[in-house]
């Protein structure tokens, strides 16, 4: 259930029986041959699938994150960490004011992190906040390892049917060492097409298996926390 499909009276009725809600954080940034909205589209699909199973509400996504390193790639829209932290805190605060108490944040972008002020938000009122980096999750890591693969930015692990906007190359790209890259200009020069490396794509059965594995894990978090 998405908030966009309900009116305020529907939500008021929902709160009489449940206090859970899924928030989505991501970014609008380059992903090589994939959609600039990849870091939003993936957690959105995970959240929707989990919501159908757990019968829980999903809030509209926060489409922008900390993407400074990709600013030299056209289409990237980056916000500061201070802005991200303030907006996410305000989102949680406004929903908590209405009676929501359990927040499950499905995050799709490596530059984002749970703000400290959200971690400690109104504990006396029973508010709980759970942060889920889908590609860093135990389930995603184990699944990738079982196939001899690694999920990196804009490689096979993010190449789902719902965020493909162009044909990806076949084959493999040598992984790029991002450790010493500090500026957008250096990132543009080092990354070329934008992928961090590894396989560009794998067969659909592997991708479907990855998606289902992550949805299973996230749904369990929503249902048991």
Domains within the chain, CATH numbers bracketed: 3-224 (3.40.50.10310)
pTM of the model: 0.96
Along the 225 residues of the chain, how does pLDDT read in single tens digits? 999 999 999 999 999 999 999 999 999 999 999 999 999 999 999 999 999 999 999 999 999 999 999 999 999 999 999 999 999 999 999 999 999 999 999 999 999 999 998 988 766 678 999 999 999 999 999 999 999 999 999 999 999 999 999 999 999 999 999 988 999 999 999 999 999 999 999 999 999 999 999 999 999 999 998
For the beta carbon of residue 188, count every other beta carbon within 10 angstroms: 17
CA distance 172 to 194: 13
- Burial-class residue 4 by CB neighbours within 10 Å (0-12, 13-18, 19+): exposed
Taken in order 64, 98, 127, 93, the sign of the CA dihedral is: positive
CA distance 156 to 206: 10
Parallel, antiparallel, or unpaired: how do β-strands 198-199 and 172-173 relate? antiparallel
CA distance 104 to 22: 5
């Amino acid at each position: 259930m998405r908030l966009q499909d309900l009116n305020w009276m529907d939500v008021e009725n929902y709160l009489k029986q449940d206090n859970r809600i899924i928030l989505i954080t991501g970014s609008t940034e380059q992903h090589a041959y994939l959609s600039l909205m990849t870091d939003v589209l993936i957690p959105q699909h995970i959240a929707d699938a989990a919501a159908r199973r757990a019968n829980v509400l999903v809030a509209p996504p926060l489409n922008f994150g900390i993407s400074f390193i990709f600013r030299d790639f056209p289409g990237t829209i980056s916000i500061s960490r201070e802005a991200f932290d303030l907006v996410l805190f305000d989102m949680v605060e406004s929903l908590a004011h209405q009676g929501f108490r359990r927040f499950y944040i499905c995050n799709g972008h490596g530059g984002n992190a749970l703000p400290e002020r959200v971690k400690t938000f109104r504990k006396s009122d029973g508010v709980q906040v759970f942060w889920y980096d889908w590609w860093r999750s135990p389930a995603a890591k184990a699944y990738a390892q079982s196939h001899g693969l690694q999920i990196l930015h804009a490689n096979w692990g993010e190449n789902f049917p719902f965020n493909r906007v162009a044909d990806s190359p076949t084959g493999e790209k040598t992984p790029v060492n991002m450790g010493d890259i500090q500026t957008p200009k250096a990132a543009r020069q080092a990354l070329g097409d934008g992928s961090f490396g590894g396989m560009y794509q794998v067969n659909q059965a592997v991708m479907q298996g990855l998606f289902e594995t992550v949805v299973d894990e996230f749904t369990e978090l929503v249902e048991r926390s």
